Structure 1
Amino acid sequence: MQKLVPGQKIKLSEVTSSNRIDIDVQVQGSSREYDISCFLLNGQEKLPSDDHVVFYNQSKSPQGEVQLAHRDAYSAQFQLDLSRVGSGVQRLAFTCTIDDQHTFKDVKTGRVRVSSEGNVLLEFVFSGQQFSQEKAVILSEVYFKDVWRFGAIAQGFNGGLADLVKHYGGTVAKPSPAPTPAPAPQPAPPVQESKPAGSAEPAGSAGKVNLSKITLEKRGDSGKVNLRKDGRKQPIHINLNWEQHSKPSSSGLWGLLANQPAASSTADLDLGCMFEMQSGYRGVIQALGNSFGAKDTVPYIFLDKDDRSGQSQDGENLLVLRPDLIKRVVVFAYIYQGVSTFQDVGGRMKITDDQGNEIHLKLDQPDPSQKFCAICSIINSGDHIQVTKEELYFRGHQETDEHFGFGFRWQSGQKS
């Protein structure tokens, strides 16, 4: 293993012939969390798009040349396949930022390691003695200059994340003033065909980098929302939407009867939740039984409407207005009528806090035999709430309750 010092650079071909390498970063210090990221940059050292950042909210680059294999509060491991890097990317910058009151001067020790096939090839060690008031630091780079090279950098910005992103030609997306239904997602920029590695990318093409958007892809993936301590309302907006189309569900004679309307297969999905407050009070919010909750009294959870037609463009919405008072919430959806299973509806959920941070998830692993889905759980962890993708399918309310252990008594019901 070869040890490097700040400013030192080396050709990767001097230590390995493989295009597959791992970058391991560890930081230990006074901060409760260090956010470690990889910025994929063009020939002018600018971001081609907001897809070209690999971090805790976006674990894979557009062509899979960089993947976040592991992350916790103090470390991250990135897997690189340099053979997949297209002409639009010339440099991979590995960075670290702090979002609390601490700076990199408070770092006790840190290191960056380069390894391949389990063998550590290079190591760069740093500490707070090399820094002052920096809150964002470029630790190291893998860059192309006739061949792929590695550089130990250790240079930072006092302004933190915003200055770092600005340095790379982007801006951090500002949070929305209030939670609003999401517009239809825009298609990602097209991936460029591979060109000779020396080709340059036009400067100034980076858009806003939305580091406040999390997508929970797999069961068990989670995100968090920080809680305020002043006892005021802090709306958490939960939006359920699905494919909104209708078609005749019958043909033949039924369709030929001129005076008979075609039966609609439009989905009637219902959003709801089971909740338990810190006080021990428990209940269910749902359209069934007209249990829409309350905005200004306990439980401070409110369901805005029952969209039976499937024609409401913003779907159904659940507001958790005092998340500091809850102990846990399980958000669910069930098919009341119109379609057979969740395979037919393309369900998707967006959770937005009052700062505009977003958590997205899709119901993309449906059980074709079940009509009831526990979508996510929300747990109060003291200073934040933890949102975890569940996407578990059950026969109905009672089976879901038995799984999560709320202990309700259930009886048959219908919507009025």
Structure 2
Amino acid sequence: MQLQRGEKRGLSDLGIQSQCTVKIDFGLDGVDIAAFGLNQAKQIGDDRYVVLFSNTSTPEGAVRLTPYSDTASFNLDLDKLPSSIDRLIFTATHDTRPISDARPLVVSVDGNKALFNVAEHLTTEKAVMMCEIYRHSSGWKLGTIAAGFAGGLAALITHFGGEVADTPPPTPPPAPAPVSLKKITLEKSNSTVSLKKTGASFGEIILNLNWNQNTSRGFFGGTKQLDLDLGVIFEMQDGYAGVIQALGRTFGDFNNEPYIELSGDDRTGAVAAGETIRVNGRHFDQIKKLGVFALIYDGAPNWQQTDGVVRMNMPGQPEIEIRMNEGRNDKRLCGVALIENVNGELQMKRHMKYYPSQKGFADDIGIFLNWVGATKD
């Protein structure tokens, strides 16, 4: 059903259950989509219920976001929302351009059960409230809004009772940290993000490992430099599988199969950029899955001390990061993430499990190899 601006409908009248999906399609790079969980006063009462790129799920999983390059999909289980959350307002913002430039900007609920063309009602707004799902004595209702603010995200945050720091005009004040839309941080177990190609290919995909390069305490009371390695276990669509790592000097090849290359091995901690693996996204269709891991090669296995973080960057996509903020100090290898080719889309899932060696991680993600001992020399 096509809805008009200002229309209010009961979800049950539309044939929509409390478990449903809200999908927003947009046609402009740099548009950020969010769902604000508000209290009865229509204010932000709990930052954990602001769901966006940097916080893709509410604590109990009632709202889960799967962001793509031109689509944001929210899976809802409204009955799980705490009573303190009275409504969910779905918003779109852009740093520099009016949201009306994002045509098509369309909200759909459970497919075609409810459709709302937002962009046709907009002019110069850079932050827009598109629609809301809210509690009512008769049950959950859906309301269309299509209204916002020329001031952008800062005006939207203020409207919902949030605070922004004062900055000299004309620069708009920044949003508070919990509402950062500039990167995706996968913080929870099995949290996932899916990315579509923005052009003919994903371009150059860069995986970077960085860590606290201070010395670590050795077993006999001395100190030694921590040597942390980045590696990838890969499986191609044709069944070819292997590992890219400094151990055994299997650095790979960017221009030939497996189209993955370790840029080098930083054994001293002197390289400020950490370690980097490049994946040739022009050939991503030939890749089935990649298991990204970090290995403490030298130094006592103390993961809390590493402050390790793995980041993935590629052209036209938000940065994705996973922090190694959990630890098993009796295990030298951390299985950080699983990257899969799902019908041509790149899907990255937080793994964060610890193993004695690469074999356990590889077996866990379904890549079975014959392993032999190796060194860096």
Q: Distance in 2 between matches of 1:379 and 1:271?
A: 18
Deviation at 1:357, TM superposition (A): 0.8
- For the residues of structure 1 that align with 2:297 and 2:163, how far apart are their CA atoms? 55
Give, in whole Å, the separation in 2 of the partners of 1:202 and 1:243. 30
Partner of 1:301: 260
Q: Which residue is equivalent to 1:269?
A: 228
Which amino acid letter does the alignment assign opposite residue 55 of structure 1?
L
Q: Summarize deviations over 1:272-329 as a string: whole Å, max 9, x none.
A: 1111112222221101111111222222211112111123221111111223321100
Q: Which residue of 2 aligns with 1:54?
A: 51
Asked whether the 8 Å contact 2:154–2:164 carries over to 1, the reply is: no
Matched, 1:205 2:195: no
Whether the 8 Å CA contact 1:242–1:347 is kept in 2: the answer is yes
SS at match of 2:348: strand
Q: Please state whether the residue corresponding to 1:133 is helix, strand or coil.
A: helix
- Per-residue CA shift, 1:339-398, capped at 9, x if unaligned? 223233222111122124111111222222211121111000123111111112111122
Please name the residue that 1:215 is paired with: 185
Residues 34 and 90, structure 2, Cα contact 8 Å, conserved in 1: yes
Name the counterpart of 1:319: 278
Aligned position for 2:62: 69
- Given residue 76 of structure 1, which amino acid in structure 2 is its aligned partner? L
Corresponding position of 1:241: 210
Q: Is the 8 A contact 1:301 1:318 kept in 2?
A: yes
- Say whether the 8 Å CA contact 2:217–2:299 is kept in structure 1: no
Contact 2:195 2:346 in 1 (8 A): yes
Is residue 380 from structure 1 mapped to residue 360 from structure 2 by the alignment?
no
Aligned residue type for 1:300 = Y
Secondary structure class of the residue paired with 2:258: coil
Q: Which has the larger radius of gyration?
A: 1
1:138 equivalenced with 2:127 (yes/no):
no
CA distance in 1, matches of 2:253, 2:356: 28
1:38-80 CA-partner distances (Å, limit 9, x unpaired): 1779x9x999xx999533532589xx9xx86323635435746
Structure 1 residue identity aligned to 2:314: D
Q: Which runs of 5+ in 2 are unaligned?
A: 9-17, 27-31, 66-72, 93-98, 123-127, 135-139, 167-171
CA distance change for structure 1 residues 398 and 171 in 2, over 3 Å: closer, same or farther?
farther
Q: Which residue of 2 aligns with 1:255?
A: none
Looking at structure 2, the residues matched to 40 and 401 of structure 1 have their Cα atoms a distance apart, in angstroms, of: 43
Distance 2:251 2:193 in 1: 26
- The answer to whether the 8 A contact 2:118-2:130 is kept is no
Gaps of 5+ in 1: 9-23, 84-90, 111-126, 143-149, 158-163, 173-196, 253-262
Question: Across the two proteins, how many residue pairs are aligned to each other?
Answer: 319
Task: Answer whether contact 1:105 1:131 (CA < 8 A) is retained.
Answer: no
Letter in 1 for 2:286: L
Partners in 1 of 2:75 and 2:216 — Cα distance?
Answer: 51
8 A Cα contact 2:23 2:108, kept in partner: no
Cα 1:387–1:166, aligned 2, differ >3 Å: closer, same or farther?
Answer: farther
2:372 is matched with: 411
- 1:38 alignment counterpart: 36
Give the corresponding residue for 1:188: none
Q: 1:334 to 1:171 in 2, by over 3 A?
A: farther
In structure 2, the CA distance between the partners of 1:267 and 1:46, relative to structure 1 (3 Å rule), is same
Superposed, which structure 2 residues align to 1:1-400 within 5 Å? 6=6, 37-38=35-36, 53-55=50-52, 57-59=54-56, 69-71=62-64, 73=73, 75-76=75-76, 79=81, 94-95=89-90, 101=104, 103-104=106-107, 108-110=112-114, 128=116, 133=120, 137-140=129-132, 154-156=144-146, 166=150, 168-170=152-154, 205-207=173-175, 210-227=180-197, 230=200, 232=201, 234-246=203-215, 249=218, 264-322=223-281, 323-400=284-361
Amino acid at match of 1:325: Q
Which residue identity is paired with 2:89?
A: F
Distance in 2, matches of 1:409 and 1:108, equals 50
Q: CA RMSD in A?
A: 4.7
Alpha-carbon displacement from aligned partner over 1:149-185 (angstroms, at most 9, x marks no partner): x99862216xxxxxx575544499xxxxxxxxxxxxx
In structure 2, the residue matched to 1:187 is: none
Tell whether the 8 Å contact from 1:328 to 1:379 is kept in structure 2 after alignment.
yes
Q: Is the 8 A contact 2:196 2:346 kept in 1?
A: yes
- Give the alignment's TM-score, normalised by structure 2: 0.67
Structure 1: distance between partners of 2:261 and 2:144: 49
Cα–Cα, structure 1 residues 362 and 36, in superposed 2: closer, same or farther, change >3 Å? closer
Aligned residue for 2:285, secondary structure, equals helix
User: Structure 1 residues 153 and 272, CA, compared in 2 at 3 Å: closer, same or farther?
Assistant: same
Secondary structure of 1:393's counterpart equals strand
C-alpha contact 1:227 1:324 (8 A) present in aligned 2: no
Distance change >3 Å, CA 101–CA 140, structure 1 → 2:
closer
Deviation string, structure 1 residues 65-121 (Cα, Å, up to 9, x no partner): xx86323635435746759xxxxxxx98712569784635997444xxxxxxxxxxx
Question: Which stretch shifts more, 393-402 or 74-83?
Answer: 74-83
Moved more, 344-353 or 200-209: 200-209
